[in-house]
Amino acid sequence: MSDLGYYALRLALVVAILGIGAGLAGALRGRAEWTEVARRSLLTLLALTGVAMAALFHAFATFDFQLEYVASHSARDMPLFYRLAALWGGQAGSLLLWVFVLCAYGAAAVVIHRRTAGRLLPWVTVTLIANALFFLVLLNFVTNPFEKLPPDRVLSDGAGLNPLLQHPAMMIHPVMLYLGFVGFAVPFAFALAAMITGELGTAWLRATRRWTLFPWLFLSVGILLGGRWAYEVLGWGGYWAWDPVENASFMPWLAGTAYLHSVMIQEKRDMLKTWNLALIGLTYTLCLFGTFLTRSGVVSSVHSFTAAGWFGFIFLGYVLVAAAVFFGVLLYRRPMLRSEHRIESVASRESMFILNNWVFLAILVVVFWGTLFPVFSEWFTDRRIQVGPAFFNRMTAPLALLLLLLTGVGPLIAWRRATPANLRRQFLWPAAALLATGLLCVLVFGSRIGVYQLGLFSLGAFVAASVIQEFARAIAARMRNHGEGPFAALLTLFRKNQRRYGGYVVHLGVVFILIGAAGAGFNEERLENVAPGGSLAIRDYELRYLTARPLPNRHYGGAQARLALFEDGRPVATLAPEKRMYWLQEQPASIPSIRSTLREDLYVVLTAVEPNGSATLKVYRNPLVNWIWIGGITFVLGTLVTMWPTPVREGTRRREGR
C-alpha cells in the first residue's frame, strides 16, 4: 500500500506539469479543449493525492514501521485516532495534507465555475496547479512520506507522536489552519487571472466571495482551537503568548479580514480596486510565509517543525517568487485600476472602512516586526534578541481599542456622506451605553481597572449597543410594515440581508472575545508549597491538598495531586493536576486541572512533588476567560449566517444575465 502512495505522488508530479502546459495552451491560444485538459488534470491531481493520503493513513493504521515517517511519529500504544492524526504531525505528512487540500479546493472551484469563469478559468487552473507542483516537487525529492528505512533499522515499535500534540484539539486545529491557509489560494488565483486577462470588474469578486469566507472561517477556528490547546495542555495559565507560529497564523487573518471589509466598498462604490487586489495577494503570500516560518527553523517555537537550512531557503524562494509574480502583474495593471469615484466625506462609511483597514495593517506590521525582530537583530548585531509578549501587548493594545471603536462606528454611518441629524440619531444610544459602562466600571473597580480594560469594556458596550440598535430598529420596522412577530422578523432579516446581519453577529463575537481578553487585567496567581492536609487560599477559594499518587505508565511517569476545592467555605469540586515526564522524548509536561464558570476559571498546575510529600502548586484565577470561547462560537455562527446560501432573486438574475 505504501508503494501505491509513492507512485501516486510520482504520477501526480507528471500530471501537474502536463496540466500547466495544457492550461497555458488553452489560455494563450484560446483553445477550450486544452483548458478542459487542464481542468481534468486538476481533478486527477485530487484523485492521486487522495490515494497518497489514504496510503499513508493505512500505513499509520497498520503500524508500517518500515516507513521512516510512520516510525518517527507513531507507536503501537497510541490510539487509532492519534495515529491517524499523526499524519500531519511532521514535515512530510503536513506537506501532503497541504497539497491534498489545495487540489480539493482547486477541483471544486474549477468544477463550480467551469461555465461562468470564461477567460479566467485557464489562468485560475494554471495558478492552482503551479502551487500544487511546488509541493509535489518537495514531496517527491526533498521530504517523501513514503521513504523506507534500511532493513537493519526497522524496529518493532515507533518513537511516538510528540506528547503535547496528543490532545483532541490537535486532531482538528492543524486541519482547520490548513483549510484556512490553503483556501486563500482560490481567490488569489482568480485575482491573478483577472489581472492577466484584464477583466478587472467585480466578476472575480462575486465569484470568490464565499471562496474567501470559507478559508477565513477555517483560519479563525484554527486560531481559536490553538488557543484552547495552549490553555489546556501547556500549563502556563494562558491561551496566547505571541509565539512566532501563533503570529504566523494571525498575520494572514489580519490581512484577510481587512480584505473582507474593503471589498464591500468595491462592490458598493466601485472603489479600491488596487487595494483589494493587493490585500488578497498579501493574504495568500502571508499564508505561504507562515508555512515557511513553521518549517524553516528561522524562529523557535513549541509548534514548529525542524528542517535543514537549505529547505528553508527553497521555501522562502517559492514565497518570494509567488509574491513577485502577483505584485508584478498588479503593478503592470495599475493604470487600468483607477476608479472615477472618490470618497465624498470623512463622515462616511467608506472612510471608516478605509481607516479600519489601516488599523488592521498597522497591527499586522507590529506583529510582523516583532516576530522577525530576533532574525533581523542577528543579521545586524550577531545577537538574537527576543521580543516578548510585553512588546506586542503594549503596541497592539491602543490599535485594538481603535479597531473596536471603528467596529461600532462603521455600521452607524451612512454611505457617501452622513448628515448631522443622522449622526445624532444613530449615536445617541450607543454613546450612552459607552459612558454608562465606563462610569459603572470606575465605580465598581476603582483604581484596580486599567485604562486598557476600561476602554475595552466601554467600547464593547458601544459596539454591542450599536448592534442591538440595528436589530431592534429593523425588527420593529418589519413588525410595523409586514405584521410579523419578532422572531419571524429576525429570521427574515437573516434571510434577506444575511451579509449585513450575520456581520453584526460576528462583531458581537469579537466583543465577547475582547472582553474575555480584558479579563486578563484582573488575573491573580499564587505559587506555594503545601504540605499534606495544608491549604492555599486565593480570593474566595481555598485549595486543600489531600494526597499525591504516582503515575506509572509505559511512556511517562510522574505524579497526580488530589485537591479539595472550597468556595466561600463550601466544597465545590475535586481537582487533580498532573506532573509528567515522557521518557523517550525526555520531555516534562504539566497537565493543569481547571474549574470553569462564566465568571472565571480557577487553573491549578502541579509544578513538583517534594521528597517530604509536600506539593508545589501554581494557581491562577482567570476572570472572564470563558468569554473568549463564547465569543469564538458567536463569531463562527455569525460567519455561517453570512455564508449561508440564499435563493437568487429574479431581479438579480436579470441584472447578471442569467
On whether both 11 and 91 belong to a single domain, the answer is: yes
The residue type of 572 is V
Instruction: Give the DSSP per-residue string, 490-505.
Output: HHHHHHHSHHHHHHHH
Q: Is the pLDDT of residue 585 over 60?
A: yes
Q: Do 551 and 463 fall within a single domain?
A: no
124-156 pLDDT tens trace: 999 999 999 999 999 999 889 999 998 888 888
pLDDT of res. 653: 41
Q: With left for phi above 0 and alpha for psi between -120 and 50, is residue 160 left, alpha or beta?
A: left
Q: How much of the chain exceeds pLDDT 90, in percent?
A: 62
Beta bridge partners of 559: 550, 579
> Each residue of 283-314: pLDDT tens digit?
999 999 998 888 766 666 555 555 555 677 88
- The number of domains in the chain is 3
Q: What pLDDT sits at residue 306?
A: 53
**And the C-alpha cell for 216?**
477565513
First CA to last CA across the chain, in angstroms?
Answer: 48
319 within a domain of the structure (yes/no): no
The average pLDDT across 514-540 equals 93
Residue 124 domain flag: yes
Q: Where is the domain boundary, 118, 133, 161?
A: 161
Q: Are 413 and 555 part of one and the same domain?
A: no
Q: What is the pLDDT of residues 84-131, one digit of tens each?
A: 888 888 889 999 999 999 999 999 999 999 888 889 999 999 999 999
Query: What's the pLDDT at 552?
Result: 78
349 versus 360: the higher-pLDDT residue is 360
In a domain, 257, yes or no: no
One domain, residues 10 and 155: yes
The answer to whether residues 438 and 564 belong to one domain is no
Nine-digit cell at 198? 484584464
Domain shared by 155 and 82, yes or no: yes
Domain membership of residue 494 (yes or no) is yes
- Using DSSP's 3-state secondary structure scheme, residue 605 falls into strand
Classify the C-alpha dihedral 351-357-359-365 as positive or negative. Answer: negative
pLDDT score for 510: 95
pTM given for the model: 0.92
- The string of pLDDT tens digits covering residues 232-259 is 988 888 899 998 889 999 999 999 999 9
Whether 511 and 532 map to the same domain: the answer is no
3-state secondary structure at position 383: coil
In whole angstroms, how far apart are CA 26 and each of 29, 54, 286, 575?
6, 32, 30, 65
445 and 584 within one domain: no
- Tell me whether residue 39 is in a domain: yes
Sign of CA dihedral 190, 192, 193, 197: positive
- From the list 178, 168, 173, the residue with the least C-alpha distance to 53 is 178
Which of residues 142, 161, 180 is at a domain's end?
161
414 residue type, one letter: A
Question: How high does pLDDT run on average in the chain?
Answer: 89
642 vs 586, residue with greater confidence: 642
Same-domain check for residues 512 and 558: no
Q: What is the 3-state secondary structure (H, E, C) of 138-188?
A: HHHHCCCCCCECCHHHCCCCCCCCCHHHCCHHHHHHHHHHHHHHHHCHHHH
Cell reading at 327: 505584485
Q: Confirm whether 579 is domain-assigned.
A: yes
Q: What is the pLDDT of residue 655?
A: 40
Q: Which three cell numbers stand for residue 155?
A: 524496529
Query: Measuring CA to CA, which residue among 237, 165, 302, 166 is closest to residue 607?
Result: 237
Residue 561 maps to a domain: yes
H or E segment and range at residue 229: helix 203-233
45, part of any domain: yes
pLDDT, greater one: 278 or 302: 278
Q: Are residues 8 and 125 in the same domain?
A: yes
Mean pLDDT of 530-548: 93
Task: Show the cell assigned to 398.
Answer: 491602543
Domain range for 136 is 1-161
Report yes or no: 357 and 262 within 8 Å, Cβ to Cβ. Answer: yes
Kindly indicate the confidence band of residue 656, based on its pLDDT and cuts at 50, 70 and 90.
Answer: very low
| 551 shares a domain with 476 | no
Residue 511 sits in the same domain as residue 537: no
Final residue before a domain boundary, out of 92, 126, 161: 161
